[in-house]
Structure 1
Amino acid sequence: MTILLEARDLYGGYGGADILKGANLRVEADEIVVIVGPNGAGKSTAMKAIFGLLRLRKGTVIYQGEDITNAKPEQMVRRGIAYVPQEHNVFPSLSVQENLEMGAYLMKGDLRPRFDKVYSLFPRLAERKRQAAGLMSGGERQMVAMGRAMMIDPKLLMLDEPTAGLSPKLIDETFERIQDINAEGIGVLMVEQNAKQALAIASRGYVLATGANRHEDTGANLLANPEVAEMFLGG
C-alpha cells in the first residue's frame, strides 16, 4: 500500500520544552489510523506539528513523497490535507452553508459538487443549511466542522478528538461518518479519547506516552493486547 503521510523522529513543544520526544507514525492510503494515550502524551501536539501549527525542533514530515516539515497550514490545505481541531472548529455566527463555503476559500470552480458530497454524507446539515452553526448541538457542530474540511476534497483528513463531549449515540454516529469518509478513499489520522471504539474501526493504531511511541499495531491487536488494555484503555 502507498504511504500517504510519514512522520519521523518528531521533537517539539511549547516554550522551549519538548512534548514530542521522537514520535513516529505513518498513514497509508485509504487507512484509518488512530493515536491514543494518556493526557499529556503528545497526541494533539503531534497533529498540530504535522499540520504546521507548531514548529518542530527536529524531525521530518513526508507527504506523498515530499518533505513538508514545518510548512504552513495554508500550504497543507493546498496539498489536500484537512485538519479539524477539537475546539473552535466552526464559525458560530455563520450559517452551515457559509461555514462550508469558508472551508473552500482556496478552491476554484463550481462548488456545487462539493456541497452535494458533504450534504450526502451529513443529511442533517442539508436540512439546516441556513441555521447559524452556533445554535446547533455539539454533535451537529462537529458535523459542520468535518463537512467544512471535506470541502477541499482532501486526500488526508486529520481529526483531533472528534467525539469529545458527545453523547454515546452521537459518538457512534460520528464514527460511522468517519468510516463513510474513509470509504471514499480518504486517509484518516485521528486522535481520540474514546480509544476502544476508535481502535475498533482503525486499520492501525499508535499508543503514545511521554511524547514517544509505546505501541504500534493493528487496531484489533492493540485492543487484544493486555498491557495496552490495562495501561491505556481502562482494563
Structure 2
Amino acid sequence: MSLLTATDIYGGYGGADILKGAGLRVETDEIVVIVGPNGAGKSTMMKAIFGLLRVRTGQVLYQGDDITNAKPEQMVRRGIAYVPQEKNVFPSLTVEENLEMGAFLMSRDIKPRLEKVYAVFPKLRDRRRQQAGLMSGGERQMVAMGRALMIDPKLLMLDEPTAGLSPLLIDETFERIKEIQALGIGVLMVEQNAKQALAIAHRGYVLATGTNRHEDTGPNLLANREVAEMFLGG
C-alpha cells in the first residue's frame, strides 16, 4: 500500500480546470519530485492534495484512506505536513516560537520534537531566540521546514523549497531534505531546480498543461533526452 496516491485529479480556480487528469504516488520513505514548465499545475496539484483547492473529480488516498477534499487541519492530524512557497513563517515570532506553533495541534511533550528538528537544522538551535522575520531567505526556509517536522509527519510536502536561494543554500536545502527522508519521512516536492531535485529523487513526475507527461525514476528522467530538451533546459 502506497503512502499517498492521487488518481485522475481534475480541479482549478473559478470553475476552470488547471489539473486535467494528473496523478502521482508516494511510497513510504521516498522522495518524489514534480517538475514541469510554469503553469503546468505543479503547485496546484500540491494544494489539491492538501485540501487547499477543491478536487472536482478524482481521488486522493493516504495510507489507503480516502482523504479527497479533507480539510488541511485533518491532513495535519493524519501526519501530513505542507510547507508553502511564500508566507511560511511567522515573522514577528522567534525561531523557537515558530517551531512550537508547528505543534499546536499536538498534546504531547514537544521537547523531543524540538531536539529532532535541531538535529536536522543545527543552525536553528543557535538562532532559536532570533526573530524569524530578520533571518535570510534560506534560514526562514529552514524554520518553515523545521516547523513542519514538529508534527512528526509521515509525509512532508514542499512547494518550491529552494525558490530565491543562492546556489550554496540550494545545495544545503537538498542535503537537509535527504536527511529528512532518511528519518523515515516521505517527501513530495515541487521544485524549479529540476536537475538537482531529480538527482536526489527516487521518482519524478513531469507535468505539462495539467497532465502527466512523464513518470520515471529521477536518474531515468535526467537521462531522457525529450525531458531534458523540453523541461530541463537541454
Give the shorter-chain TM-score range: over 0.9
After superposition, the C-alpha distances for 1:128-175 in whole angstroms (9 at most, x for unaligned) are 101000000000000000000000000000000000000000000000
Partner of 1:74: 73
SS across alignment from 2:192 = coil
- Partner Cα distance (2:79, 2:145) in 1: 14
After superposition, the C-alpha distances for 1:25-62 in whole angstroms (9 at most, x for unaligned) are 00001100000000000000000000000001111000
Residue 214, structure 1, aligned to residue 213, structure 2: yes
Q: Note the C-alpha offset of 1:109.
A: 1.5
Structure 1, gaps ≥5 residues long: none
Q: Note the C-alpha offset of 1:108.
A: 1.0
The AA in structure 1 aligned to 2:67 is: I
Matches within 5 A, 1:3-22: 3-22=2-21
Matches within 5 A, 1:94-173: 94-173=93-172
- Partner Cα distance (2:44, 2:108) in 1: 34
- Partner Cα distance (1:121, 1:5) in 2: 24
Counting aligned pairs with the same residue, the percent is 83
Partner of 2:22: 23
Structure 2, gaps ≥5 residues long: none
After superposition, the C-alpha distances for 1:76-112 in whole angstroms (9 at most, x for unaligned) are 0000000000000000000000000110000112110
Partner of 1:178: 177
- Partner Cα distance (1:65, 1:57) in 2: 20
The AA in structure 2 aligned to 1:71 is: A
Provide the alpha-carbon RMSD of the alignment.
0.4
TM-score, normalization: structure 2?
1.00
Partner of 2:89: 90
The AA in structure 1 aligned to 2:70 is: A
The AA in structure 2 aligned to 1:43 is: K
- Partner Cα distance (1:109, 1:167) in 2: 37
SS across alignment from 2:4 = strand
**Which aligned segments of 4 or more residues in structure 1 are displaced greater than 4 angstroms?**
none
SS across alignment from 1:22 = strand
TM-score, normalization: structure 1?
0.99
After superposition, the C-alpha distances for 1:207-232 in whole angstroms (9 at most, x for unaligned) are 00000000000000000000000000
- Partner Cα distance (2:232, 2:198) in 1: 10
- Partner Cα distance (2:166, 2:145) in 1: 17
Residue 45, structure 1, aligned to residue 37, structure 2: no
- Aligned residues between the structures: 234
SS across alignment from 2:3 = strand
- Partner Cα distance (1:148, 1:233) in 2: 31
Partner of 1:195: 194
- Partner Cα distance (1:158, 1:39) in 2: 19
